[in-house]
Structure 1
Amino acid sequence: MADLPITETHHDCGCGGRAAEEPELDATRIPHEIRHAAILGALRGIGAGGSMVLVAPHDPLPLLAQIDDSWPGVFVREYVQAGPDAWRIRFTRRA
């Protein structure tokens, strides 16, 4: 996977929307076929020092390995909830 570009921490795409303080991505609502790609795309959008919470239907160990392989040392992760119905993981991009 290509290097993760450094992005700013503010929302400036020109759409007029405002960035959430800490967005939450509910992967349980994303079709399985595109789930990893959607999550990786969301992580690309996090600016230095920013974070997001991923909600997954299971402990996403293969995804976590994929993130570590693609962008070693870029994200710090913290389990906010570890089952049994959902796993919530906070990803924070190092500054």
Structure 2
Amino acid sequence: MTYTDYNERVIQVAEIEPRLRHGIIEELFRHLSPGHGLQIVVDHDPRRLRFLLDVSFGSQCDWTYLEQGPDLWRIRLRYTAAVTRSGFDLGVG
């Protein structure tokens, strides 16, 4: 089964030094264009990362579980632009 699309970058979280993981993922997400995303692959449910992204990006970060353990979690993070009533993109980045 294929989980990626052409607008996603797959991040193997285990390859990132633990103390840098959340900051790197947040910065990668911050620089996405609307409609693009990241897919993170990790060995646990990254609830703290989800809280961090909710605080930083709110509804602009669409979080979708593609796999939920017990040994592997795969999450799709998609940047959805916040659009005002006037139709302008208030996107991050």
User: What is the TM-score of this pair, normalised by structure 2?
Assistant: 0.75
Q: 1:66 aligns with which of 52, 60, 83?
A: 52
Identity of aligned residues (%): 30
> Which residue identity lines up with residue 47 of structure 1 in the other structure?
S
CA distance in 2, matches of 1:65, 1:50: 20
CA distance in 1, matches of 2:72, 2:24: 18
Cα RMSD of the aligned pairs, angstroms, is 1.3
Q: 1:90 aligns with which of 73, 76, 83?
A: 76
- How many Å apart are 1:45 and its aligned residue? 2.1
2:35 aligned counterpart, secondary structure? coil
1:40 aligned counterpart, secondary structure? helix
> Which residue identity lines up with residue 25 of structure 2 in the other structure?
I
> Which residue identity lines up with residue 60 of structure 1 in the other structure?
P
- How many Å apart are 1:52 and its aligned residue? 1.5
CA distance in 2, matches of 1:40, 1:79: 17
- How many Å apart are 1:43 and its aligned residue? 0.7
Q: 2:12 aligns with which of 26, 32, 42?
A: 26
- Which one has the bigger helix percentage? 2
Counterpart in the other structure of 1:52: 38
CA distance in 2, matches of 1:87, 1:45: 23
CA distance in 2, matches of 1:46, 1:79: 19
Between the two proteins, the alignment pairs up a number of residues equal to: 76
Gaps of 5+ in 1: 1-19
The one-character-per-residue Cα deviations of 1:66-92 (angstroms, maximum 9, x if unpaired) are 110111111111101111221100011
Gaps of 5+ in 2: 82-93
Moved over 2 A (4+): none
